[in-house]
Structure 1
Amino acid sequence: MSTPFRLRENGIDLFVRLTPKAALDRLEGVESSADGRSHLKARVRAVPENGAANQALERLLAKALGVPASAVSIVAGGTARLKTVRISGDPAILVKSIEALYG
């Protein structure tokens, strides 16, 4: 299985499949799509209106990874279910934190 992230010089890009309007905010491990790419599954209570679900996802990831909310931003897929989330910080530390979420 491939990893749900791509390393960058000053952080990582995390691939996420977001389900809004869930019962609670949580991360649910990794799944592979038909094309073989991996995504971290996330659920948020927020509705997908006015960016509310995206903001909830950013907060959820920041808290789970122990980084400031300002270090987390959605860079692709803003209105899609599959998103690319850029997380700034030390890539080695971020990879360990992400692997701890689903490892």
Structure 2
Amino acid sequence: MIDIEPTTDGVLLPIRAQAGARKNGVVGVHDGRLKVAVTQAPEKGKANGAIQKVLAAALGLKKSQVELVVGPTSSQKKFRLTGVTADALRERIAVLFAEI
């Protein structure tokens, strides 16, 4: 189960980042966090931008609705997602895992 936190201005989604992977995508759940792999190296924010794009595409959101708020240099991050409720986000994640 992913520890999604509803807030007044969206929801916080905890992420376990895997930079330098073979391909981009949501690959599973790790320690209560959604695990996202990206091919970008973890340098100068490139991997964070790639994670933002992967999350937006996978969850059916605009890139502007996905914002990194915690952990810019850590593999454990939190992204704020706007325009989606916690329940709707859980449903979208469930659909993702049904497709994997």
| TM-score when normalising by structure 1 | 0.85
Q: Which residue of 2 aligns with 1:71?
A: 65
- Which amino acid is 2:42 matched to? P
- Which amino acid is 1:54 matched to? N
Count of matched residue positions in the alignment of Structure 1 and Structure 2: 97
Percent identity, aligned pairs only, is 32
1:88 corresponds to which of 82, 92, 97: 82
Off by >6 Å, runs of 4+ in structure 1? none
C-alpha distance in 2 between matches for 1:6 and 1:82: 15
Question: Is this contact kept in 2: 1:10–1:90, CA < 8 A?
Answer: no
C-alpha distance in 2 between matches for 1:14 and 1:5: 5
Deviates further, 6-15 or 42-51: 6-15
Listed as ranges, the gaps of 5+ residues in structure 1 are 33-37
| TM-score when normalising by structure 2 | 0.87
